[in-house]
Amino acid sequence: MPKVPEGLRGDLADAVSQEASLWGSKKSLVVASSALRDDERVLAATTTFRKQGSANQNGVLIVTDQRLVFVHARAFSSATEEIPLANVSGVLDRKGLLQGSIVVTGAGGITTAFGNIAKARVEPVMQAIRSHLRAPGVPPVEATVDSADQIRKLAELKDAGILTEEEFAAKKRQLLGL
């Protein structure tokens, strides 16, 4: 198990203690610890890469009982992004031999892909997201995206290797009502 940075919130430290490696993510964890609110509880966390344009950003993905938080910290800067759980309309995962990925669909059909997640960490993070999405009190958000736009976005995920041809075809049929 990796050495968890000192000064992290207890629930965050517990969540990341399950990681095989914290390489390149320790500063992100320190920033994340201060970005968490007192009224939220960390359910799971993992180190990951998020595709942003043509660059991958390494950081940490944290699932709390209220939101998903991605923190990307470098030597002199950091960025914290959040997706309220009330805005998450779907999640899917893909597992390879050693690593996996998680794709989150938010309000308006906007997708965010998190890759290079240790295979053993994909399921705990997915369970944390899914269990909380089913919890009472998390109201669904109605998305206003047309099917063609959503199919185009799914095609991009397929082309990037995040979705398989079968996953793409199944989701396309679902969106078209076939």
Domain with residue 41: its CATH number is 2.30.29.30
Q: What's the domain range around 33?
A: 10-145
- The CA radius of gyration of the chain, in Å to the nearest whole number, is 16
8 Å CB contact between 68 and 51: no
Q: Which residue has the tokens 């990341």?
A: 16
Taking alpha carbons only, the member of 50, 145, 55 closest to residue 107 is 145
Residue 69 has pLDDT above 70, yes or no: yes
Query: Is the residue at 76 inside a domain?
Result: yes
Query: Is the residue at 2 inside a domain?
Result: no
Helix (H, G, I), strand (E, B) or coil at 7: coil
Per-residue confidence (pLDDT) for residue 144, from 0 to 100: 44
The model's pTM is 0.71
Cα–Cα distances (Å) from 81 to 52, 62, 115, 177, in that order, read 12, 10, 16, 33
Query: Is the residue at 49 inside a domain?
Result: yes
Query: Is the residue at 170 inside a domain?
Result: no
Query: Is the residue at 33 inside a domain?
Result: yes
Query: Is the residue at 158 inside a domain?
Result: no
Tokens at 50, concatenated: 């998020």
Q: Give the total number of structural domains in the chain.
A: 1
Residue 108 has pLDDT above 80, yes or no: no
